[in-house]
Amino acid sequence: MTCAVVLCKTITVNALESKEVVPNEAVEAIIFIVTCVTAIISKKRTTFYAIVGVSFTFGQFEEHDIFTQLFDRTTIPSENHEVKANGSVTFICPGVNENTKVELLEWQSQTKLKVVLRYKPSTGVSVDGDWKDRAVLNKDYSVTINKVNLTDSGEYTCAINHRLIPEVIHKFYVIDIPDAPGRPLIIHFTSRTVNLSWASPKYTNRTLITHYTVII
């Protein structure tokens, strides 16, 4: 895995030359300013270029699992979704429809730092293993995730044609049964009564606990 992190500084990356760079083929251009924060994580081949001492860089990303962050979450609208475990959820990709010319579309998990689903006209749809056989790309480029579980909770975004800043962040919460409470402890007892105490579940998984049942 290759990781690169830039935090509010002029980029200092060695200039490289490579015959692998193809004009207009999945090439990103990013202007960094003093307040920018970016993180790039790649599992496969990635070629980076930079001008040392100048806040400018670009790179070629081709046929690999890559995750890029270059935006401030507080400035982007968000939509909340809540679905019970084993249910289904659909996220809409704004700014695109059936008539849009799409060269590359990615549904990204901002929480897991993974590309959930990638679509290219030349290669079709590929799905990450965490969502294998569960994530489906619809005709309008929305994505449906079936049989959701607690690990699916998090933030999702849609990236169209190499755009870095999403139009909306989908905040997704899976509702499931709470974790088990702590082991009961005897606080006080008499010949006829007993007072018990236990710790609340660590995670309620967005479920309201109304009562407990004690089985003797």
Structure tokens at 35: 């307040």
The 10s digit of each residue's pLDDT in 192-207 is 999 999 999 988 888 8
Contacts of 166 (CB under 8 A, 6+ apart): 71, 76, 157, 158, 159
**What local confidence, expressed as pLDDT, does residue 38 receive?**
41
The C-alpha angle 4, 5, 11, rounded to 5 degrees, equals: 95
Mark the ranges of the chain whose per-residue pLDDT is less than 70. Answer: 1-74
User: pLDDT for 6-47, tens place per residue?
Assistant: 443 333 333 333 334 334 333 333 333 333 334 444 444 443
pLDDT for 74 equals 65
Angle 40-133-165 (CA atoms, 0-180°, nearest 5)?
A: 30
Question: In b/e form, how buried is each residue of 140-168, taking b as 16+ CB within 10 angstroms?
Answer: ebbbebeebeeebbebbbbbbeeeeebeb
CATH number of 73-175: 2.60.40.10
- pLDDT for the residue numbered 117: 97
Q: Nearest 10 degrees: CA dihedral of 29, 170, 140, 122? A: 40
Q: Where in the chain is the domain with CATH 2.60.40.10?
A: 73-175
